[in-house]
A and B are shown apart, each in its own frame.
Chain A
Amino acid sequence: MQTPRPGRDILDRALRASWLAAIFIALVLAPSHPYDALSLLAGQLIAFLHFIFLRKIVKLFTEKRGGAGALIAIKLVLVYGGLMALMSWGRVQYAPLCAGFALPFAALFLKSMMLAFGAGPASLMRRGKPAVLVAMFLALAVTSPARAADPLPSTSGTHGATETRPGDAATSDPSHPQPGANAAEAHHEEGAAELPNWLVILHDWNPGNPVINWLDENQVIVFAWIAGFLFLFISWIAMRNAKMVPGVLQNAIEWMVESMENIAGGLLGEKHIQRHFPIIGALFFYILTINMLGIIPGMKSATSSLDLTLALALITFLYVQFWGIRNLGIVGYLDHLAGSPRDAIGWAMLPVMLPVHVLGELAKPVSLSCRLFGNIFGEDTLIVVFVGATAMLIKASLVALAVPPMAGITALFMMLQTLTSIVQALIFSLLATVYLYMMLPHEEHGPDESHAEPHATH
């Protein structure tokens, strides 16, 4: 009794936050889409009632009191009946309804994540409340000018206004991402199909805004930034109060960094890893964060575009060549490129070996970037294909038949995607390590050769 129960506290706070968010979004939506705003609030109300009843029922069960059955019946009638009635009402919009219904779940998830990460982020949020308010008003400012110029953007949009609805529904409700493939195809007619992310949704909702247009055109950059900031934020949260006896998050991060350093150090050697681990580790964790971002609904892996992977591979290539020249010297570097000719046969083979080695060096960034791009893009395409098939089955009103097996298969491939994300990030950074290792002088062979030489002179 003396300590507040964390479950009750976290539920209350999550519900409060979700109400705030719902009212804010409804206020933003209200001038142009009044029914959308109403649907959103209705969905939020239904989910709120669901949680309230659930808590009451759980309390009755745990305290072994009667009346649970009656409460369950009331809940069934009120919540699910209300949901059914809402969905059968013609004016309601499915997408905002689903979004409103998902809001408390999302808030609860975020709150419990914060609880799991310790008091750090929660206290940060408490202190950062003015910042959150400023961000909200900034969002309002970004969204308002185009709405003023274009009062009904969703009906007068330049492309596929009818196809935007399923896209909206897809990302606002994480449990039903299936119908989204159509919106993606409608949006990116020229490219391959991909699941809609929140930028596409934003662009469909408000096509005239220059800021949103810019964000939509440069999705790869935006998602790479998001991943980078996420990576920085998590590291900062973990290492803000670094202690000798680490907390949960600090322990996890330290374990990841140390095991990565051990793996790369086993290849590169103790001496070089001290100098080169920053870039190798940064490559690994950055690519890992970007890859993992694609699993979250509404997000996208920036590595499923060749631009970003090619940039990363070029950075690696330049870094490796720079350290090659710096360690070997210009002459040594050219000698390395020529295949280190030491005898007549080596010099005779020079015209052949030099182009081969140069081509080999140039093939490295191409192979690095294509490997990462192909893997991540392939996984994304696989998921999109299954999601599209599910969407087709839903269109043919085979929902009950289609969704459970299809959703299961999609979830299975998402697990595979997690594995691929980790392995590809590891392979990219390890290959960078190997390429670096080829360019660096190898001290561990020095003593062996000096031992070998006296044997030869004997």
Chain B
Amino acid sequence: MLFPAALGLGLPIGIGLAAIGSGIGIGFLGKGAMEAMGRQPEILPKLQVAMIIGFGFAEALTIYAFVTMFFLQGRIG
């Protein structure tokens, strides 16, 4: 298989896989935060901050894949 062809196939798949992982992580985070908010609405501000930080960490994985794609994009074809 040609290197550009492999890259052109692999990069989108890689981003998709990373997005699946991030999506699962963000989903779990959101679920936990929602449940905690429903149980204890008074801790909402503190919880929101922690939730957003967690979102940042989870989302970063997809962003790494995206940045990798951006750096390798020029080598396709």
Please give the residue numbers on chain A whose beta carbons come within 8 Å of chain B beta carbons, in ascending order: 192, 262-263, 266-267, 367, 370-371, 373-375, 377-378, 423, 426-427, 430-431, 434
Contacts and interface: CB of A to CB of B under 8 A. Distances in A.
**Most central of B52, B59, B63 by chain A CB within 10 Å:** B63
Contacts of B63: 370-371, 374-375, 378
B72 interface: no
Given A266-B45, A423-B52, A427-B53, A371 B59 contact: yes
A192 B72 CA distance: 12
A426 B48 CA distance: 12
Given A370-B60, A371-B56, A192 B70 contact: yes
Contacts of A192: 70, 73
Dominant secondary structure at the B interface: helix
Contacts of B46: 266
Interface of B: 45-46, 49, 52-53, 55-56, 59-60, 63-64, 66-67, 70, 73
Nearest to A190: B74
A434 B56 CA distance: 12
A367 B64 CA distance: 8
Dominant secondary structure at the A interface: helix
A431 B56 contact: yes
A426 B52 contact: yes
A262 B46 CA distance: 10
A266 B70 contact: no
30 contacts: A192-B70, A192-B73, A262-B45, A263-B45, A263-B49, A266-B45, A266-B49, A267-B49, A367-B60, A370-B60, A370-B64, A371-B60, A371-B63, A374-B63, A374-B64, A374-B66, A374-B67, A374-B70, A375-B63, A378-B66, A426-B52, A427-B52, A427-B53, A427-B55, A430-B49, A430-B52, A430-B53, A430-B56, A431-B53, A431-B56
Contact of A427 (B56, B67, B73): B56
A401 to B, nearest CB: 29
A370 B71 CA distance: 12
B53 A434 contact: yes
Nearest 5 A-B pairs (CB), nearest first? A374-B63, A427-B56, A371-B60, A374-B67, A374-B66
A383 to B, nearest CB: 15
A263 B52 CA distance: 11
A280 to B, nearest CB: 13
Contacts of B67: 370, 373-374
A261 to B, nearest CB: 13
Contacts of A370: 60, 63-64, 67
A91 to B, nearest CB: 42
Given A262-B45, A370-B60, A430-B53, 12 more contacts: A263-B45, A263-B49, A266-B45, A266-B49, A370-B67, A371-B56, A373-B67, A374-B63, A374-B67, A375-B63, A427-B56, A431-B53
Given A371-B63, A430-B49, A377 B56 contact: no
Nearest to A367: B60
A255 to B, nearest CB: 15
A80 B32 CA distance: 58
A262 B44 CA distance: 13
A374 B73 CA distance: 14
**Most central of A266, A371, A373 by chain B CB within 10 Å:** A371
Contacts of B52: 423, 426-427, 430
Nearest to B50: A267
Contacts of B73: 192
Nearest to A263: B49
Contacts of B64: 367, 370, 374
Nearest to A375: B63
A401 B7 CA distance: 36
Contacts of B60: 367, 370-371
A423 B63 CA distance: 14
B35 to A, nearest CB: 21
Contacts of A367: 60, 64
A371 B18 CA distance: 14
Contacts of A375: 59, 63
A26 B6 CA distance: 54
A275 to B, nearest CB: 20
Nearest to A430: B53
A377 B63 CA distance: 10
